[in-house]
Amino acid sequence: MVTTCDSLATTQLGHFQTFVSDISEVRMLDDHLTNSTHPKLLGPPFQRTHCVYIMISMSLFVCVCYRTASYVFCAAYAAVIFLGRFFMRRREKWDLRRPLMFWSLSLALFSICGSIRTGSYMLNTYSSHGFRQTVCDTNFYSAPFSKFWAYAFTLSKVPELGDTVFIVLRKQRLIFLHWYHHITVLLYTWASYKDHVAGGGWFMTMNYSVHALMYSYYTAKAAGIQLPKPCAILITSMQILQMAMGLTVLALVYFWHHEVHCASNMQNIMWGSLMYLSYLLLFSWFFYQTYLKKDKRKGAKAE
Q: Any idea what DSSP says for residue 290?
A: I
Q: What angle do CA 19, 25, 30 make, to 5 degrees?
A: 135
CB 175 within 8 Å of CB 167:
no
φ, ψ for residue 77, nearest 5 deg: -60, -45
CB 174 within 8 Å of CB 168:
yes
181 classed as catalytic? yes
CA distance 94 to 171: 8
Residue 265's closest CA among 199, 204, 205?
199
Active-site residue, selected from the candidate residues 181, 182, 196, 211: 181
CA distance 284 to 281: 5
Direct distance between the N- and C-terminal alpha carbons of the chain, in angstroms, rounded to an integer: 88
From residue 41, alpha-carbon distances to 44, 81, 115, 118, 154 in Å are 9, 57, 48, 44, 40
Q: Any idea what DSSP says for residue 91?
A: S
Residue 197's closest CA among 127, 267, 130?
267
CA distance 166 to 174: 10
CB 153 within 8 Å of CB 211:
no
CA distance 132 to 126: 8
| Per-position DSSP letters for 17-28, written without gaps between them | TTT---HHHHHH
Catalytic residue IDs:
181
